[in-house]
Structure 1
Amino acid sequence: MTDATRILELRAELDQHNYRYHVLDEPSIPDAEYDRLFRELKALEADHPNLITPDSPTQRVGNAALSAFTQVRHEIPMLSLGNAFEEVDLREFDRRVTEGLDLPTGDLFGSGAAIHYSCEPKLDGLAVSLLYQDGALVRGATRGDGTTGEDISVNVRTIRNVPLKLHGSGWPPVLEVRGEVFMSKAGFERLNASQMEVGGKTFANPRNAAAGSLRQLDSKITASRPLEFCCYGIGQVTQDIATTHTGNLEQLKQWGMPISRELKVAENIEQCLEYYHDIGARRTQLPYEIDGVVFKVNSLAAQRELGFRAREPRWAIAHKFPAMEELTELLDVEFQVGRTGAVTPVARLKPVKVAGVTVANATLHNMDEVARLGLMIGDTVIIRRAGDVIPQVMQVVTERRPENARLVHVPETCPVCGSHVERTQLIKRSKGKQTVSEGAVYRCVGRLACGAQLKQAIIHFVSRRAMDIDGLGEKSVEQLVDEGLVSSPADLYTLQFDDVVKLEGFAEVSSNNLLKAIEDSKRPSLARFIYALGIPDVGEETAKVLARSLGSLQRVSEALPQVLTYLPDVGLEVAFEIHSFFEDPHNRTVIQQLLERGLQLQEEGEVHPEYAASTTLAGMIAKLDISSVGPTGAEKLVAKLGSLNAIIAADGIDLRQALNTRQAEAVREYFKQPHHAETARAVEAQLQAFGMHWASEKKAVEGLPLAGQTWVLTGSLEQMSRDEAKQKLEALGAKVSGSVSAKTHTVVAGPGAGSKLAKASELGIKVLDEEQFLKFLASM
């Protein structure tokens, strides 16, 4: 086979894989194989530059930057759509269509003629036109003012799912495809994360990111952005394709054009409304942003009969969702105190309706976010609300800033207890040094003497995933604290009937039920109890790791930071947080009181066999903060001197027989400091006590079938709860994660699965529906 033939073969194969991946959502090869084929084609074209054609899959990388975009006049104007905001608006649209087509509208004795409408989500992106001549992409243009747009040909060629040459055959000699360029939610998050890493500009929302990316003068920048295209119709065309709008789109799909997977045909206006409510309910779960639904008369003959108004077609309408973003005024910034004492700014807003809900408050996260926004009290701000997500301040409209705008200041004392508020410090530990910098969080130092921290600590302690004390909601906890009946979680277990019954909302039955729930909570698993303690940075997963690995509360509470880092997913910073929590005298007292008042921890035992005799002396030396000494140097040191005591006592001559001069000097200087030698000996002693020491007895490990695998649950499950599914997977050894990555082994997707399912498809990860998942569990 000649190189020229192989080039043609590779192009055809890659085009087909692009079509299956982007249009059909049915990838037939893994990403690695696609990359291999792409590299082979690129290498062959580099050897034969005369064979490179504009429609080759390699020609999506972008060209030299343009000085400006040229203008393009649309042969057929790209008109905007009329809008419907209420159900009555959509019904009025249907009435106008019916009358425009001179169809019977119905009366008391009949429903009249029903019109079929195409239904598809209104993507929140940038409208573009793609012009194909003899099946080849020759031009891309923005909508612009509807009559004149900008030539973005070099940029649209970089979008992965835009076919550079149409598939199959039978396409018209001239075909203008119209659609939306957009960015998925996952792609938007990745882009902003990468922008932050390099100190670049972040984008307010996916639409702005898509528009900004597509209008780059340097197409190499566009090529690096995760843009996608979705076709929603055609403009100029030299011959008819189908008799319906959906027929056109289905044919375009056969020619390689991506169309909406949510495309449907409604047989009447009632089905249109059902579609609108259904997709509205699933809106936040979709992998992309939408701001409404587009309904079009499906018959092309009927569209031609209805025609156009001055600026919009009479046969189409956009039924908008309630706005997710609105402008309002920042009236003040107040500060709330959380469970760990974090003093968090909260925006108090002039009430405004966002996505159908009146919003008066919004999160500001921390003072670094206030500074990033450049926020001042009195500013006009853009508020965003999506689904059940807490409203956020997205942007300040600085041109509307009043002269009397005020800076936002952190209070010097806690707004709840009056204790001092201090800025946290970030301690970064690395080889031989410790770097201290200011953190983003301000914290009240009042601890449990602060009513807000005490209330939040107890609310966390009794929550469903912690001690699961039913009947103790936020209001009840606040009453218990305010009445002086509870000053620590341990006090819950001293409550009597007379204490509870006098609280607002409690009577004899509810008081007895609460006391029974408190009594029933006295036998928690070790993992639940550790999570309930509210250790900073220790969530459910870390609590499970601690319980499973070390096996007892005593070992967890005694563990040194250096020992904790032997456990999976426990870094040095978290290890120091855990150690510091159990070193605190107040925390030790509360834990002791809890045990004295009847708590009996379940599932306690020995150190997990996986960690028995799991350490090495060289590994332990490498974990110490000895400058210049990594794993290789540590192994040489141990091979020469044999024991920790010998290494501590070694002089320069002994050390230089194992290491270079710089390393030897670093080891000698390190252990000359008594606290370093004491720490190292304490770590070794604890490894011995826990049975993790290299000289300890090695125990056989019974492997779990899913050990080492990461699974993700998304969507709703109908035959079991997500928690039940998670427990079953963890019992089989799997780690259950909340996000999809290249390390994910399998995704379980129930109805309503959104961006996680899309990302799994993008990465070629195995996906099971609920029925397949249940069969899998039954086979274990």
Structure 2
Amino acid sequence: MTDAQTAAQRIFHLRAELDEHNYRYYVLDQPSVPDIEYDRLFRELQALEAEHPELVTPESPTQRVSGAALAAFGEVRHEVPMLSLGNAFEEQDLLDFDRRVREGLGDLLPAGDLFGGGVDVEYTCEPKLDGLAVSLLYENGLLVRGATRGDGTTGEDISSNVRTIRNVPLKLQGEGWPAVLEVRGEVFMSRAGFDALNARAAESGGKTFANPRNAAAGSLRQLDAKITASRPLEFCAYGIGRVDGELPGSQYEVLQTLKTWGVPISRELKLAKGATGCREYYQDIGERRDSLAYEIDGVVFKVNNLAWQRELGFRAREPRWAIAHKFPAREELTELLDVEFQVGRTGAVTPVARLKPVQVAGVTVSNATLHNMDEVARLGLMIGDTVIIRRAGDVIPQVMQVVAERRPAGARPVHIPEHCPVCGSAVERTQLIKRGKGKETVSEGAVYRCVGRLACGAQLKQAIIHFASRRALDIEGLGDKIVEQLVDAGLVASPADLYTLTYDQVVVLEGFADLSTRNLLGAIADSRTPALARFIYALGIPDVGEETAKLLARALGSLERIQRALPEVLTYLPDVGLEVAHEIHSFFADEHNQQVIRDLLARGVTLQDEGDVSAEFAACTTLAGFIDKLNIPGIAATGAKNLADKGGSLDGVIALSRDWLELSVMKGLNEKAKQALREFFSDAGTIERARAIDVQLRDFGMHWESEKKIVEGLPLAGQTWVLTGTLETMSRDLAKEKLEALGAKVAGSVSARTHCVVAGPGAGSKLAKASELGVKVLDEAGFIARLADLGGGR
């Protein structure tokens, strides 16, 4: 077989494979390979066709824009073709693009001075959104049609659907727009919108989406526009098509003009001079990529001068005046070699994918998270499968999808072990208990758990690592490897045993000498006086993170009260629901956990910052609120208030429930609610529980009849602050503590509800967002001065 015949066969197979991928991606919205794999195949085909131009045909994927209109939608023919962009993967690709632009412009590009090499081309720069390209047609300022790109020449009529996208203007604002204006852009879904959509789907038992791009494409191409309207879609314009009228002469000015007409454009749109300016923009966006509210896979550069764009023209499938500079691949194909199971701090038995090593975004990946067995089932995963894995920033790589058509004959199913792989104890599936008005619903949870607790070495090690971590008791030098040695040597069987370690026990361990031993024992001794909030967090209570631990400490004031607090009392805390309240109560009701706490206190751990119940917490109860928290079926907040007004006390409400004549004439409760009240208080256990809550509220000084302290509001109560950049005179953690002590909530992102942003050197997208929204910004000096004014300085 000749080289030409071999090339022809390979070209045939590549075209067939690319056509199949295009169909899955553009028509079915079910891509089976990541973009990086498609790009490899496409570039291989380009190279072969360049070597054998006689084999190039008009139907080759390199000669047209991929995709075909769905028969379910009407067809729209684009008067100006919607072409895709060429790609740059390396810096040299960008340099070559800039060189070709300058060569193509020739004498149109002004000459430089005597000492320069010519004038740099000006480019527009904006993120490459990962969504679906669409066309919006406006006639006399009114939206008359929406269409997908389709094959670039013919798309799908999705007019009804695009009209449901909230940020698409149905009528252009202002004046001066052309009689006919075709706006082109991307329909996408933000990360937050995508997460919320999947959460709703999972809760209702529906199908979840693999990524925001699939979610946006699938949502936009629904035959029922009501479904599209329920999805959190957004639109961002990046250019224009047909125009009957006058527009400015540059890409940047056109987009800014669209913005004045109410059409959304990218907030990251900027101008750059030459390849150097483009490279700087690419690096900046790349560093901020994970902080953006939406997914992007690169940056788009376009020659800004529209006359120069027309001069440069087009190739077969792409403009010569624009290029997409892709980021390193975050998705890759590899083989699932095995699934192993790890045991965490709470006993959760979690499947972990062992992969054939592969480079993803510059890092070799050999392991990936699978979350839980429900996720394994959702993926349809089998050992031996070819899978798509994704890595984003510092996020642990995860398996996104199975390439089912590549499944080998010997693929094996994944089974949860019956016994813990570490200690051999039984592995049980957790149960979810949903508590509502007068009833509990039990269902199977997604987590499997080893029942061995601290008798399980894995749980013990993870519990001690958490206990010693920086945000818990902050025992410097007590890292993972040292904890493993201490546990394996039998020196530590609970966190309390850390405080019984001796010099002779530690110095003989691997890696220890006199100084390192004294340093570790000194760090352990220094941790004996933790703040109450740190101690609560260090205990590792399920669903209690750092913020909830602070809330418990600040509101209840003492370990003794936190240990005794009933679930209904805990729900008076903001953001603590009944499920979390039961987790907290169950943790402290466990005798083993109680013993660990007693041992810690007996071995010299002395809690700081203990005091009374906070005045704000003590003042938050009412009889009506108390009745509502009893979860009596059919009695919500209004009915509870009516009962409180009528009964006057818990005993009065109980008496009312037994006085049928009095209850029957009571207004504000329907007959069903009255019957439910009678049945609720006819149970002796229910009455005992209600009285116990009532007694505890009195004991804590929280009862509505208790004498109340004057509540002095904290100066920053109700305000949300954001910290960004590097603070030079204090740590971010210390700044956060000071703000929280003054009543502020410290958030991780800027919104219209943010009161103030503290920006240190290196502040990036959060500072830009604050400026855009008009949020107050303080530098570090101003922040420290503000703290001093409020009495929260150092």
Global fold match (TM > 0.5): yes
- CA offsets 1:132-162 (integer angstroms, 9 cap, x no match): 4454444332222122222333333333333
Q: Is the 8 A contact 1:82 1:312 kept in 2?
A: yes
Q: Structure 1: which amino acid aligns with 2:775?
A: V
**1:56-75 matched pairs, under 5 angstroms:** 68-75=72-79
State the TM-score, normalized to the length of structure 2.
0.80
Unaligned runs of 5+ in 2: 1-69, 666-670
Q: Specify whether residues 115 and 473 from structure 1 end up closer, same or farther in structure 2 by C-alpha distance, changes over 3 A only.
A: same
Please name the residue that 2:543 is paired with.
537
Please name the residue that 1:584 is paired with.
590
**Partner SS for 1:159:** coil
Q: Specify whether residues 194 and 411 from structure 1 end up closer, same or farther in structure 2 by C-alpha distance, changes over 3 A only.
A: closer
Equivalent in 683, 688, 699 of residue 709 of structure 2 = 699
Q: Structure 2: which amino acid aligns with 1:93?
A: F
Q: Specify whether residues 432 and 309 from structure 1 end up closer, same or farther in structure 2 by C-alpha distance, changes over 3 A only.
A: closer
Equivalent in 753, 757, 769 of residue 748 of structure 1 = 757
Equivalent in 657, 661, 668 of residue 662 of structure 2 = 657
Equivalent in 258, 261, 264 of residue 264 of structure 2 = 258
**1:305-320 matched pairs, under 5 angstroms:** 305-320=311-326
Please name the residue that 2:23 is paired with.
none
Equivalent in 88, 102, 110 of residue 92 of structure 2 = 88
Cα deviation for residue 219 of structure 1 reads 3.0
**1:135-284 matched pairs, under 5 angstroms:** 135-238=141-244, 241-284=247-290
Please name the residue that 1:27 is paired with.
none
Kindly indicate whether residue 525 of structure 2 is the aligned counterpart of residue 519 of structure 1: yes
Q: Specify whether residues 669 and 310 from structure 1 end up closer, same or farther in structure 2 by C-alpha distance, changes over 3 A only.
A: closer
Cα deviation for residue 524 of structure 1 reads 0.9
Q: Structure 2: which amino acid aligns with 1:313?
A: P
Q: Is the 8 A contact 1:637 1:655 kept in 2?
A: no
Please name the residue that 1:427 is paired with.
433
Q: Is the 8 A contact 2:658 2:678 kept in 1?
A: no
Q: Structure 2: which amino acid aligns with 1:523?
A: T
Please name the residue that 2:405 is paired with.
399
Cα deviation for residue 454 of structure 1 reads 0.5
Please give the alpha-carbon distance, in whole angstroms, between the structure 2 residues aligned to 1:635 and 1:523: 45
Cα deviation for residue 556 of structure 1 reads 1.6
| More displaced 10-residue stretch of structure 1: 436-445 or 686-695 | 686-695
**Partner SS for 2:136:** strand
Kindly indicate whether residue 720 of structure 2 is the aligned counterpart of residue 711 of structure 1: yes
Q: Structure 2: which amino acid aligns with 1:748?
A: V
Q: Structure 2: which amino acid aligns with 1:698?
A: K
Please give the alpha-carbon distance, in whole angstroms, between the structure 2 residues aligned to 1:377 and 1:317: 40
Q: Specify whether residues 265 and 542 from structure 1 end up closer, same or farther in structure 2 by C-alpha distance, changes over 3 A only.
A: closer
Q: Is the 8 A contact 1:633 1:659 kept in 2?
A: no
Please give the alpha-carbon distance, in whole angstroms, between the structure 1 residues aligned to 2:313 and 2:292: 33
Q: Specify whether residues 613 and 102 from structure 1 end up closer, same or farther in structure 2 by C-alpha distance, changes over 3 A only.
A: closer
- CA offsets 1:480-525 (integer angstroms, 9 cap, x no match): 2122221111111122333333334444333332222222211111
Cα deviation for residue 410 of structure 1 reads 0.9
Q: Specify whether residues 286 and 657 from structure 1 end up closer, same or farther in structure 2 by C-alpha distance, changes over 3 A only.
A: same
Please name the residue that 1:769 is paired with.
777
Please give the alpha-carbon distance, in whole angstroms, between the structure 1 residues aligned to 2:187 and 2:597: 57
Q: Is the 8 A contact 1:285 1:753 kept in 2?
A: no
Cα deviation for residue 391 of structure 1 reads 1.6
| More displaced 10-residue stretch of structure 1: 249-258 or 697-706 | 249-258
Please name the residue that 1:729 is paired with.
739
Q: Specify whether residues 127 and 747 from structure 1 end up closer, same or farther in structure 2 by C-alpha distance, changes over 3 A only.
A: farther
Q: Specify whether residues 584 and 271 from structure 1 end up closer, same or farther in structure 2 by C-alpha distance, changes over 3 A only.
A: same
Please give the alpha-carbon distance, in whole angstroms, between the structure 2 residues aligned to 1:396 and 1:443: 26
Cα deviation for residue 627 of structure 1 reads 5.1
Q: Specify whether residues 644 and 208 from structure 1 end up closer, same or farther in structure 2 by C-alpha distance, changes over 3 A only.
A: closer
Cα deviation for residue 692 of structure 1 reads 3.1
Q: Is the 8 A contact 2:647 2:656 kept in 1?
A: no
Q: Specify whether residues 651 and 752 from structure 1 end up closer, same or farther in structure 2 by C-alpha distance, changes over 3 A only.
A: closer
**Partner SS for 1:490:** helix
Please give the alpha-carbon distance, in whole angstroms, between the structure 1 residues aligned to 2:656 and 2:277: 85
Q: Structure 2: which amino acid aligns with 1:532?
A: A
Kindly indicate whether residue 293 of structure 2 is the aligned counterpart of residue 287 of structure 1: yes
Please give the alpha-carbon distance, in whole angstroms, between the structure 1 residues aligned to 2:625 and 2:580: 20
Please name the residue that 1:376 is paired with.
382
Q: Specify whether residues 251 and 686 from structure 1 end up closer, same or farther in structure 2 by C-alpha distance, changes over 3 A only.
A: closer
Please name the residue that 1:561 is paired with.
567
| More displaced 10-residue stretch of structure 1: 77-86 or 444-453 | 77-86
| More displaced 10-residue stretch of structure 1: 304-313 or 85-94 | 304-313
**Partner SS for 1:261:** coil
Q: Specify whether residues 755 and 408 from structure 1 end up closer, same or farther in structure 2 by C-alpha distance, changes over 3 A only.
A: farther
- CA offsets 1:69-99 (integer angstroms, 9 cap, x no match): 2223323322222111111222222233333
**Partner SS for 2:259:** helix
Please name the residue that 2:481 is paired with.
475
Q: Structure 1: which amino acid aligns with 2:360?
A: V
Cα deviation for residue 283 of structure 1 reads 0.8
Please give the alpha-carbon distance, in whole angstroms, between the structure 1 residues aligned to 2:292 and 2:637: 46
- CA offsets 1:222-272 (integer angstroms, 9 cap, x no match): 334333322222334456634433233333334443332222222221221
Please name the residue that 2:463 is paired with.
457
Please give the alpha-carbon distance, in whole angstroms, between the structure 2 residues aligned to 1:375 and 1:712: 43
| More displaced 10-residue stretch of structure 1: 195-204 or 623-632 | 623-632
Q: Specify whether residues 504 and 303 from structure 1 end up closer, same or farther in structure 2 by C-alpha distance, changes over 3 A only.
A: farther
Please name the residue that 2:668 is paired with.
none
Aligned length: 707
- CA offsets 1:136-192 (integer angstroms, 9 cap, x no match): 444332222122222333333333333444444444444433222222222323333
Please give the alpha-carbon distance, in whole angstroms, between the structure 2 residues aligned to 1:263 and 1:618: 54
Identity across matched positions, percent: 71
C-alpha RMSD of the superposition:
3.5
Q: Structure 2: which amino acid aligns with 1:269?
A: A
Cα deviation for residue 351 of structure 1 reads 2.3
**Partner SS for 1:282:** helix
- CA offsets 1:685-731 (integer angstroms, 9 cap, x no match): 43343333455433222222333x25253643545544233222221
State the TM-score, normalized to the length of structure 1.
0.81
